Amino acid sequence: MLSGIPATGNVTSPGPLVGPEHPYDQAEVLKSLLSALAPLRFHDRDKGRLRRACRFFVDALDTCRGRTLQERWIAFEQTVWPKWVATRVANHSAKRTRAGAWIAVMTRHVRADHNVGGQHACVGMDPTPTR
């Protein structure tokens, strides 16, 4: 991994194509996450894994209730995230799946609650998926 720093500018500029208050649309959210991932400096193999993690993350959002992306994110933090954290030791693939949430938070697609069950969705998370 080189770094999660974009090649130019910063990760929040010019901003996501889909913001927290936009009505939720799976295809648009995935397209926006993948677009935000493109300028980040990761090795190609890591970017492929991160793209898959974004797809898995959006699939998880589909299981959550909410009209907007932020509403679904809140439901995700309350219902899905704790399960993903609980499987981090038991399930080696859990780190891969959490990377999609990391991308969504770091690119400001969503606003994370900093105290979800005592565990922030991105605290201590290395964005590089496990091989």
List Cα–Cα distances, 23 to 14, 20, 57, 65, in angstroms. 20, 8, 17, 12
Q: Which residues of 33-43 are buried (b: 16+ CB within 10 A; e: fewer)?
A: bbebbeebebe
Is residue 57, in this structure, part of any structural domain at all?
A: yes
DSSP 86-131: HTTTT-TTHHHHHHHHHHHHHTTSS---TTSTT--TTTT--SSPP-
The count of structural domains within the chain is 1
Which structural domain range is residue 102 located in? 26-106
Q: Which residues of 49-68 are buried (b: 16+ CB within 10 A; e: fewer)?
A: bbbebbbbbbebbeebeeeb
**pTM, rounded to two decimals:** 0.71
Is residue 128, in this structure, part of any structural domain at all?
A: no
Is residue 84, in this structure, part of any structural domain at all?
A: yes
pLDDT for 53-98, tens place per residue?
999 999 999 999 999 999 999 999 999 888 877 776 555 566 667 8
Is residue 117, in this structure, part of any structural domain at all?
A: no
pLDDT for 9-49, tens place per residue?
444 444 556 777 888 999 999 999 999 988 888 888 888 88
Q: Between 125 and 110, name the one with better pLDDT.
A: 110
Residue at token pair 């992306």: 69
Three-state SS at 20: coil
User: How would residue 106 be classed by pLDDT, with cut points 50, 70 and 90?
Assistant: confident
**Mean pLDDT score, 90-114:** 77
Is residue 115, in this structure, part of any structural domain at all?
A: no
Is residue 5, in this structure, part of any structural domain at all?
A: no
Is residue 4, in this structure, part of any structural domain at all?
A: no
Residue 23, token pair as written in the block = 């009505």
**Angstrom distance (rounded) from CA 8 to CA 21:** 26
